[in-house]
Structure 1
Amino acid sequence: MSTSASSSTSTPPSGQNPHPLLENNDEKNSVVIKVGMVGDSQIGKTSLMVKYVEGSFDEDYIQTLGVNFMEKTISVRRTTITFSIWDLGGQREFVNMLPLVCNDAVAILFMFDLSRKSTLNSVKEWYRQARGFNKTAIPFLIGTKFDQFATFPRDEQEEITKQAKRFARAMHASLIFCSTSASINVQKIFKIVLAKAFDLKCVIPEIEGVGEPILIYVDCAKWRSTIVSWFTPKGPSRNIGQIRQGG
């Protein structure tokens, strides 16, 4: 399945090669971005992957046993970008397959179910183990089933949102709440992965309010005042292009 994304350019300094996504030449570039997905079982990892790749949602999905894998190809200018998405089953007996999912990943989505707080608490251990195999992947904290979460009492939403923000600060991670069944923030997750992977400017508006589909990504460095033992710092970024809102 192929889609396209738009980008705007900025001129590189004299003497520097342009970014591969921004080159204006006749040669077609090809890039693969490996994305790992980890978290407890039955939190919606497979549903998110299938929704992004195929555009469909099935409530009666078969639980992942081991590792599931899908690809989606998009085009940015004259560059073909393939998202190689690896989904690890959440049962503890599959933790030995974690290296298969994490090794060489450009980004890792640490996922939890917004309607089950215990799955958010589990993120700390998933993060610790995944970082043992890949210390450089860009971290994302993804809360699923926002459509269900939105029906919770205000005080419960506030408690879980605050905890998720604390975890994201400690991880130096972007924080995104999504819903596959309601098509909320699904496309935007991977647009932001692309922007972070290639230091492109992303103009998707951030959302931070309780009760809203949280989307915080612009400057994760501003969260670094919170120092917790289970994080790995991410280097500084630079803006050399643009990913536009939409989808």
Structure 2
Amino acid sequence: MKDTNPTYKLILFGDGGVGKTSLAHRYLTGVFNEGIGVTIGVEFYIKNIMIGGKSIKLQVWDFGGEQRFRFLLPSYCKKSDGGLFLYDITNLSTLHSLKQWMEVISVNAPNIPILVVGTKTDLVEKRKVTKEEAVQVSKNHKMSGFVEVSAKTGFNVENVFETILKIMMSKTL
């Protein structure tokens, strides 16, 4: 029997160590794994979910953020329906790298909705990026919104995926 549920492709991108794999793992399994290592190349996950009364299939593509894997990004981000740009709230340079990431994304997946996602809110005492700075960067790059999360505590994890999914679904109606 053919699967008739719509499929949406979501890309997670950002510098190495910002928490892309931890966020994906927390969303997919409900568990935080302290021992997750560096993503080599690209990881791919599927989750069947109900949203707005509709059953959909979500493909989550998690890109290794290290410079040596960036050559993979152009081919894997094609035909994406949306993206999450992740940065670490304790490391300002990870937010400012959005420009370089968008140079690749805008050519290979133009006009997709992207949320700017500040990670590691459980480390608030080490915060180096204010919410106001992140919102401003998000606006400057014409992103679809901004949210902060913690894969460790689970704060806003479901919300960020639900938000981007609703935006992606509204674009395909």
Aligned to 2:30: 55
CA distance in 1, matches of 2:62, 2:168: 19
CA distance in 1, matches of 2:142, 2:116: 9
* Paired residue total: 169
Aligned to 1:133: 108
Matched, 1:180 2:151: yes
CA distance in 2, matches of 1:134, 1:77: 25
Aligned to 1:170: 140
> What amino acid maps onto 2:147 in structure 1?
I
TM normalised by structure 2 equals: 0.90
Compared with structure 1, are the counterparts of its residues 78 and 180 closer, same or farther at alpha carbon in structure 2 (3 Å cutoff)? closer
CA distance in 1, matches of 2:151, 2:76: 22
TM normalised by structure 1 equals: 0.64
Q: Secondary structure at the match of 1:112?
A: strand
Indicate which of 111, 115, 123 corresponds to 2:86.
111
Higher helix content, 1 or 2: 2
- Unaligned ranges ≥5, structure 1: 1-27, 200-236, 241-247
> What amino acid maps onto 2:134 in structure 1?
A
Does the Cα contact within 8 Å between 1:48 and 1:180 map onto a contact in 2?
yes
Aligned-pair identity in percent equals: 27
Does the Cα contact within 8 Å between 2:51 and 2:162 map onto a contact in 1?
no
Q: Deviations over 1:172-221 (max 9, x none)?
A: 2210100000111100011111211223xxxxxxxxxxxxxxxxxxxxxx
> What amino acid maps onto 1:143 in structure 2?
G
CA distance in 1, matches of 2:51, 2:32: 26
1:56, distance to aligned residue in structure 2 (A): 1.1
Task: Between the two structures, name the one with larger relative contact order (CA 8 Å, sep ≥ 6).
Answer: 2
Q: Secondary structure at the match of 1:86?
A: strand
Q: Secondary structure at the match of 1:87?
A: strand
RMSD between aligned alpha carbons? 2.0
Matched, 1:161 2:131: yes
Rg: which structure is higher?
A: 1
Compared with structure 1, are the counterparts of its residues 185 and 78 closer, same or farther at alpha carbon in structure 2 (3 Å cutoff)? closer
Indicate which of 32, 54, 66 corresponds to 1:91.
66
Matched, 1:196 2:159: no
Q: Secondary structure at the match of 1:36?
A: strand
Q: Secondary structure at the match of 1:43?
A: coil
Does the Cα contact within 8 Å between 2:49 and 2:56 map onto a contact in 1?
yes
CA distance in 2, matches of 1:77, 1:151: 37
Q: Secondary structure at the match of 2:36?
A: coil
Does the Cα contact within 8 Å between 1:29 and 1:79 map onto a contact in 2?
no
CA distance in 2, matches of 1:76, 1:163: 31
Compared with structure 1, are the counterparts of its residues 76 and 120 closer, same or farther at alpha carbon in structure 2 (3 Å cutoff)? closer
Aligned to 1:30: 5
Matched, 1:41 2:8: no
Compared with structure 1, are the counterparts of its residues 59 and 30 closer, same or farther at alpha carbon in structure 2 (3 Å cutoff)? same
1:59, distance to aligned residue in structure 2 (A): 1.1
